[in-house]
Structure 1
Amino acid sequence: MCSQPPASPRWPTWSTRGPILACWFLAINFATWCCSSSHGAEPGSVSLASAIHQPISFQLDIQPILTARGCNAGACHGKQRGQNGFQLSLLGFDSEFDHNAIVRSSRGRRLSLTAPHESLLLQKATATVPHGGGVKIEPGSSDHLTLLRWIEQGAKRSVPNEPVLESVVLGNDEFVMSSGQTAELSLTATYSDGSQRTVTSQATYLSNDPAVVSVDAAGRMLAGSLPGETAIMARYMNHICVANAQIPREQEIPASVFHDLPRNGFIDELVFAKLQSLRIKPSEPAEEWVFLRRVFTDLIGRLPRPEEAREFLESADPGKREHLVDWLLSQREYADHWANQWADLLRPNPYRVGIKAVLNYDNWIRQQFRENLSHDEFARRLVTARGSTWRNGAVTLYRDRRSPDEMATLVSQLLLGVRLECAKCHHHPFESYSQADFYQFAAFFGKVAHRGTGLSPPISGGEEIIWTSESGTVKHPVSGEIMTPTPLFGSVDLSQHDDPRVALAQWMTTDNPLFAKVHVNRLWAHMMGRGLVEPVDDLRSTNPPSNPQLLDALADHFREIGYDQKQMLRTIALSNVYALSSIPNETNSSDRLNHSRHYRQRLRAEILSDAISDITLTPTSFTAMPTQSKANQIWTTRVDSVFLDTFGRPNENQDPPCERIPDTSVTQTLHLMNSRELSGRITNDDGRVAQLASSDRSATEIIDELYLAVYSRYPSEGERQYAESLIATAGENRRGAIEDLMWAMLNTPEFSIQN
């Protein structure tokens, strides 16, 4: 065989190298191809002769090459309009389209069946001719040879008795590594005929945190220099696997440290178990005043008043934290605080859907929290809403989202934590959801009908009725097929309901793990400073939770208590993990995932605004709102407030659900330092400073009042001495000294950052 190379002009560039070199080259590369391409046999078990005649499958052999080498990536020919007139489906999700694009489109100019080696597809990929993407496939490589053989065989769409790819699994999906250590991933594909293939070299890999563990194109992982953990995604032909890599700290921590930690339920057990595996010691418990301020702002969105702070700090009751949490959850501020957060996720622009519709929508949201409606019933009422926008505020959702695809995007992200929008145009790049899955899900909203004046921005003042039509379909945008309403997994019985949305709501809220998980993750992020999954509404296998066991336990608990949000918040607030200090120790300063300490966060804009009102005793006046209104009672962000906009209130021109930017900024700092409004409130003749200055209170009492109002704590001895000296040296200008002191306190990070 080596002495008689093929007589056809398939190898003109190789034949000039001499018969011995040609035989050696062919033998090596065909043997490599056998190891990676044979079905129903162990690697290397197919002979060279049989490999030459092995039928090449476009879907099983060619598309994996194009995907692994990035030819059909979003930055190349997989983008929406392709690249330089050549378009492939993103990541190879549509084999029929890709085969037609390569073989038939542009009059078939990309292939030459009579001279396969001169095919433009090969010359571009190997950069034999100029190629904007550079060299994607090395000349003479096994990938190059496989493509060449496929063209020689006629570039067929399929081969006889072609099996179907059924699953892809990792040989090992859990790695515990040390700094600088390497490890290799191994990926095996299984087909419908029972055959298997090692596809490690033709998969694509992505590390969620390359600084912790990086991964190269061959699946080789390298641990970084810092302790931590991350997930490694392996994708092969729209099948995704995830490996978790963990780098514990090198220094051991005695088991007695974790054994002695106080525990108050499953949250503490699961968090401390994870920290022990990482050799991370949790921070010390937070001081009483820190817990007090934290739980007030988290549960009801305001600072404790001085008398409330004094009562808690001076109480010797061992159960005072439980009593405080229960009391807070019973306060009327709870409803406005949480409704304000859901308004970010749901509330549309009033100039688009109408001022009256948005006002009714806002009132509806707040009423659900006043009634402490269970989260599953809240979701059912929202998804199945029908009626007038002037009588049932929930239907404003459908006035704003007017097409089934828009509703599918919002509902899947908001209530299931699935960002399904990517699948609207192509197969989801990080999930198993296809374009068909998207439109089958959207079909649940196909019968939603509108009756009324419709939208006429920027006024849109008319009433609109949302109802369920007897007809209404959703078609696949490519095939034109009428889609049957189908959930993302599992099944529903559509025969029991005239409105498919009712079946969807029942499926979502009945034993659906995603429904409970996304909400408890959102609550956890609010209370703890970071979600177990980030972003909080992006639950997928390639974005795993930092503590999967804890997320499962929280979701199970949420279902067990009947989706009662108040009870869920109580469970979190009374855990010892929630009450940890934000001050790091020598082991957890770099931990950003595992809640070994409380993660500091800037207070929400509305909390800061109301805090300044409460501290200065000067209420804020908002347009289009009753007097004495709080910032978290505002029904639309169209109500002007420079302060709220500066501190991150979302813009209603954004597409909800809106995400607030939690970071601090120079603008915020300058606003607190230079705001004339803030200065005027501090110096107001009816404000707290004026009242304290004109009272007969001593300097010590005045200072205690200020510190309790601003920080929810008493001053340290050094702070007290310094403040007393300011007031004493001010003489008759005692009020000016107190004004300066309050201004300085409101400009400290301790005021605007939750510890």
Structure 2
Amino acid sequence: MTTTRLVWRQLLLLLVACGSTWTAVAWSAEGAKVSDVHFGTDVVPILTKLGCNGGGCHGKATGQNGFRLSLFGFEPDVDYDALVYEGRGRRVSRAAPDHSLLLLKATSRVPHGGGRRLEEASEDYRLLRDWIAQGANPPRADDPHLDRIEVSPGEQVLQPNSSQQLRVTAYFSNGTSRDVTRQTVYQSNEGGIAAVDATGLVKASSRHGLASVMARFGEQIATFHVAVPFAADGSKMAAAQSELDVLERQSDSSKINRLLFRQWRRMGVVPSAVADDATFIRRATLDICGTLATSEDVTAYLADQRSDKRARLIDHLLARPEYASYFALKWADILQNRGAGYSTSKQRAGTTLFSAWLRDSLESNKPYDQFVSEILTASGSQRENPPAIWYRTVRKSPEYVESVAQAFLGVRVQCAQCHHHPTESWSQEDYFGLAAVFSRVGRKGGFADAEVPTDEIIYLKEHGEVVHPRTGKILMPRPLGGSEFSLGTQDDPRLSLAKWMTSRENPYFARTMANRLWAHFLGRGLVHPIDDARSTNPPSNPELLDALSQDFIASGFDVKQLVRKIALSHSYQLDSAPHAGNAGDMQTFARFYPRRLSAEVMLDGMSQVLDAPTIFPGVPAGTRAIELPDENVAAHFLDVFGRPARMSACECERVDAPALAQGLELVNSTEIQRKLTVKTGYAERLATSHQSTAEVVTEVFLRALARPPRPEELKFAVNFLAAESDRAEAIRSLLWSLIATNEFLFNH
């Protein structure tokens, strides 16, 4: 090290007499006192910034090369001991700070598996060195703690291929603040729209859309929101605003629509045209009832000239029994009404009862807060109280916590089981405090000849506790992010949880349900994924989600009313085809996003078109796929097309991604072949009917696709049928060709 560098960078430790006490005071070569460097608020954030305590380095469970840090620095006491006392004290040298192994390895002056992480001339190096030179002081209770951080600007509209430098300020408990931009960790949730580098420079790409950048310093997180508009210049933006003026005047002025148009104006995106009536009746019938619209329904709807016919259609669909059956299937997935894993013959009665309870609750439009409370607080036997079936599958602390958090609060807290959540406020105390709510859930009786008892009674035990795995502290029941419940010795903590969860002030409960239903109807949640709400994954339209949530609460948690509002929104009524003004949009709902039919709806749709019900083993004849009591009813078709195993509360378990097996199933399925050839089926009836060829084609299109054939389609199909000598085989080919098209397989 040169003499000049020593003059400018080395600290001199002077012993200053203060009465009878000697105090170490750090002075720079210029004679100015150096600010105290605190381990928790100065050193740990640098280790996080450099990636030292990340999961791929020393922060993983086993550490790296004998050196282990807490993941992302959430346990500074543990980190201090690892740095200062472990490894024979070689990592920190108070007498010769520059020779500390911590600095030697980080600057690659000593071989380091992680490569060079620091430059000797950097501010981070100086801070680490200052801390060592000041005596490598440990974290103390009276050290200033980090109150919050702020990122500036908080939001910005960026033109494509432009940039914005962020500035992060940290505020401490002693009233001080400082710029921590260089020590902050950044991450974009949509790097393809707006990427961010290690210095906090955000660069917008040529893609349009919304992105959020997380800024994390210490335990605090702030978020920068960026919008890259579709209209790239002033003239295009003015043209888009003019089009939006016309469209908004033509739309109804509901609060939802006003907020949709507000975002479209901000983004300079023009929505697609409103979908035609044939498209809308098919779409709404599938989404509300999980059922195809019949040709009679389509014909009557197309002839209806009333201006409010879409609202009337929604009300009619919500009153149909299929609505309750279809959404009961959805909730059976979320609540893991599972039959696999143990004796089907012994457990089928239970899954059937729970499935029926779900269906009855939805059919009666039971208020959502009551619905959830009855599940969480269920006691007794499955025969007397079917919601108690939930406790048969959800049995252990992790299952309680993660199922409740994902299903009803829309958050993922799995990380907090082992360490502080890296991008949220959830700690291990939050995780195990929620687990403690269920620590007194007891079980007795039941048929225990299998992996899980099939008929047991749920009751409240006298005692039960949960211990913090790191501190050994017994944790009292508490909600996520909340204080301990005030409980008497005979009180059921589950009742307190249900009361807290369904409170109008709960920031997650109503929002989660509103977001879940928005995703069901629009193909994507305002928060996406729908059960991953966090500060670093904000809603694409926060005002809209707030409005839906508040309306839901004000209605008394009326699920049907929430469905009605969403189904009548401008976005839900749009055509799915993009145009030049919204091509690439996947966040603002400026068009309807097509999605493949779920496995059960697809199979039922084929059965409906071909008038050949699926025969399911072990259930009554005529049972539809959306009415099955559990996922353990054998049906190869359903498994191929993504029926979930119901192992978690995450809707992501239901797979709709394309696969080779699905194409082969459409071509070679014995079930589809049976439906096409059964003597009592639709294909056989058409083959022996006296209808003209054109009438047959028109009826087939209406039945399968909910629309009449286009002129060119009619001509082609008529010519095809006329050219075939075997009329029955030709009709089967026509029917198969339609149910194998994307138009049939997708809701669009």
Q: 1:48 to 1:650 in 2, by over 3 A?
A: farther
User: Aligned to 1:677, which of 671, 687, 696?
Assistant: 671
What does the per-residue CA deviation read over 1:22-62, in whole Å, with 9 as the maximum and x for residues that have no partner?
A: 435669xx9xxxxxxxxxxxxxxx98656664332111221
**2:475 aligned with 1:483:** yes
Native 8 Å contact 1:353 1:400 kept in 2: no
What CA distance in whole angstroms lies between the structure 1 residues aligned with 2:499 and 2:97? 56
Aligned mate of 2:556, from 558, 562, 566: 562
Q: Quickly say closer, same or farther: Cα 1:580–1:498, change in 2 above 3 A.
A: same
Distance in 2 separating the partners of 1:719 and 1:51: 86
In the alignment, which of 129, 138, 143 is matched to residue 157 of structure 1?
138
Q: How does 1:635-714 map to 2 (within 5 A)?
A: 635-652=629-646, 659-714=653-708
| Aligned mate of 2:101, from 120, 129, 132 | 120
Letter aligned with residue 479 of structure 2: P
Residue 436 (structure 2) aligned to one of 439, 443, 450:
443
Report matched runs for 1:69-80 at 5 Å: 69-80=50-61
Q: Secondary structure at the match of 2:721?
A: helix
SS in 1 for 2:466: coil
Structure 1 contact 267–577 (Cα < 8 Å) conserved? no
| 2:528 equivalent to 1:547 | no
Tell me how far 1:192 sits from its aligned partner.
1.0
Shift of 1:462: 4.6
TM-score (norm 2): 0.92
Q: Which moved more, 1:323-332 or 1:142-151?
A: 142-151
Within the candidate set 581, 593, 596, 2:575 is matched to 581
Q: CA shift at 1:352, angstroms? A: 4.2
How many residues of Structure 1 are paired with residues of Structure 2 in the alignment? 721
TM-score by length of 1: 0.91
Q: Is the counterpart of residue 232 in structure 1 residue 213 in structure 2? A: yes
Name stretches of at least 5 consecutive residues in structure 2 with no aligned partner.
14-26
CA distance in 1, matches of 2:568, 2:691: 37
Aligned to 2:746: 753
Partner of 1:23: 7
> Quick one: distance in 1 between partners of 2:527 and 2:68?
35
Q: 1:277 aligns with which of 247, 266, 284?
A: 266
Conserved 8 A contact 2:214-2:221: yes
Task: Specify the code of the residue in structure 2 equivalent to 1:23.
Answer: V
Q: Which residue of 1 aligns with 2:382?
A: 389
Q: Tell me, what secondary structure is at the counterpart of 2:213?
A: strand
Structure 1: gaps of 5 or more residues: 1-13, 31-45
Q: How does 1:134-145 map to 2 (within 5 A)?
A: 134-145=115-126
* CA distance in structure 1 between the aligned counterparts of 2:400 and 2:439, rounded to whole angstroms: 10
Kept in 1, the 8 Å contact 2:194–2:202? The answer is yes
1:672-691 CA distance string (max 9 Å, x none): 12223212321222211211
Relative to structure 1, is the Cα distance of residues 754 and 470 closer, same or farther in structure 2, using a 3 angstrom cutoff? Answer: same
CA gap of 1:687–1:160, structure 2 versus 1, over 3 A, is: closer
1:469 to 461, 477, 483: 461
How far apart in 1 are the matches of 2:675 and 2:317?
28
After TM superposition, the structure 1 stretch with the greater mean CA deviation from structure 2, 436-445 or 225-234, is 436-445
Residue 421 of structure 1 corresponds to 414
Choose which of 491, 499, 519 in structure 2 pairs with 1:525.
519
8 Å contact 2:49–2:184 — kept in the other structure?
yes
Conservation of the 8 A alpha-carbon contact between 2:28 and 2:34: no
Match for residue 200 of structure 1? 181
Post-superposition offset of 1:421: 1.5
Shift of residue 598, structure 1, vs aligned partner: 0.1
Question: Is the aligned partner of 1:304 residue 2:293?
Answer: yes
Q: Distance in 1 between matches of 2:513 and 2:190?
A: 25
| Contact 1:166-1:191 at 8 Å conserved across structures | yes
1:657-685 superposed Cα distances (whole Å, 9 cap, x missing partner) = 66212222332222112223212321222
- Preserved contact between residue 55 and residue 159 of structure 1 (Cα < 8 Å): no
Matched, 1:338 2:322: no
Q: Which amino acid aligns with 2:464?
A: G
Amino acid in structure 2 at the alignment position of 1:679: Q
Are 2:170 and 2:179, in contact at CA under 8 Å, matched by a contact in 1? yes
Give the deviation of 1:71 after TM superposition: 0.5
Write the distance in 1 (CA, Å) between the matches of 2:448 and 2:131. 55
User: Hey, what's the Cα distance between the residues in 1 that align with 2:650 and 2:449?
Assistant: 20
Is 1:171 paired with 2:152?
Answer: yes
Contact 2:244–2:265 (8 Å) recurs in 1: yes
Rate the CA distance shift 1:225–1:656 in 2: closer, same or farther, 3 A: closer
C-alpha distance in 2 between matches for 1:456 and 1:95:
49
Amino acid of the structure 1 residue aligned with 2:115:
G
CA-to-aligned-CA distance 1:508-554 (integer Å, 9 cap, x gap)? 11111310111111101110111111110111111001100000001
Deviation per CA, 1:473-513, whole angstroms, max 9, x where unpaired?
22211111121222234557534771111111011111113
1:189-217 CA-partner distances (Å, limit 9, x unpaired): 11111011111100100011111111111
Q: Distance in 2 between matches of 1:454 and 1:696?
A: 59
Q: Within 1, Cα distance between the matches of 2:583 and 2:37?
A: 54
Instruction: Give the 3 Å change call, closer, same or farther, for CA 655–318 of structure 1 in structure 2.
Output: closer
Q: Deviations over 1:405-459 (max 9, x none)?
A: 431221111101111121111111111121112222222222222223586644x
1:103 is the counterpart of 2:84: yes
SS in 2 for 1:513: coil
Structure 1 residue 259 and structure 2 residue 245: aligned? yes
Q: What is residue 628 of structure 2 aligned with on the other side? A: 634
> Secondary structure, in 3 states, of the residue corresponding to 1:134?
coil
Amino acid at match of 2:264: L
1:159-208 CA-to-partner distances (Å, cap 9, x unmatched) read: 69521111111121111111221211111111111011111100100011
Contact 1:364-1:392 within 8 A present in 2 as well? no
Distance in 2, Cα, partners of 1:50 & 1:420: 50
Provide, for residues 97-140 of structure 1, a one-character-per-residue CA deviation record: whole Å limited to 9, x for no partner.
11111112233332333433322222222222221111112234
Instruction: Give the conservation status (yes or no) of the 8 Å contact 1:347–1:656.
Output: no
Q: Secondary structure at the match of 2:221?
A: strand
Report the CA distance shift for 1:350/1:680 in structure 2 as closer, same or farther (over 3 A): closer
**Contact 1:669 1:747 survives alignment (8 Å):** no
> Is residue 403–residue 648 contact of structure 2 (8 Å, CA) maintained in 1?
no
Within a 5 Å distance, the mapping from 1:352-367 to structure 2 comes to 352=341, 355=347, 356-367=349-360
**Inter-partner Cα distance in structure 1 for 2:558 and 2:342:** 31
What does residue 132 of structure 1 align with?
113
Q: Secondary structure at the match of 1:240?
A: strand
Any conservation in 1 of the 2:487–2:493 contact (CA below 8 Å)? no
Aligned counterparts of 1:180 and 1:158: Cα–Cα separation in 2 = 44
After TM superposition, give the deviation of residue 739 of structure 1 in Å: 1.4
Summarize the Cα distance change of 1:319–1:620 in structure 2 as closer, same or farther, 3 Å threshold: same
Q: Which amino acid aligns with 1:358?
A: T
Give the deviation of 1:323 after TM superposition: 1.7
Range with greater deviation from structure 2 (290-299 or 486-495): 486-495
Does the C-alpha gap of structure 1 residues 271 and 377 become closer, same or farther in structure 2, counting only changes over 3 Å?
A: same
Aligned to 2:194: 213
How much has 1:723 moved relative to structure 2?
Answer: 1.4
Show the 5 A alignment for 1:237-252.
237-248=218-229, 249-250=231-232, 251-252=236-237
The equivalent of 2:16 in structure 1 is none
Secondary structure at the counterpart of residue 494 of structure 1:
coil
Aligned mates of 1:142, 1:647 — CA distance in 2:
55
Superposed displacement of residue 312, structure 1: 1.1
**Does the Cα contact within 8 Å between 2:337 and 2:354 map onto a contact in 1?**
no
**In 2 relative to 1, CA 474–704 (structure 1 residues): closer, same or farther, beyond 3 Å?**
same
Amino acid at match of 2:441: V
SS at match of 2:110: coil
Q: Structure 1 residue 357: deviation in Å?
A: 3.4
Deviation, structure 1 residue 21? 4.9
Counterpart contact for 1:351–1:457, Cα < 8 Å: no
Amino acid across the alignment from 1:344: D
Contact 2:53 2:72 survives alignment (8 Å):
yes
How big is each residue's C-alpha offset from its partner over 1:231-257, in whole Å with a ceiling of 9 and x where there is no partner?
000000010000001111212225332
Q: Bigger CA drift: 122-131 or 322-331? A: 122-131
* Residue 68 of structure 1: how far off its partner (Å): 0.9
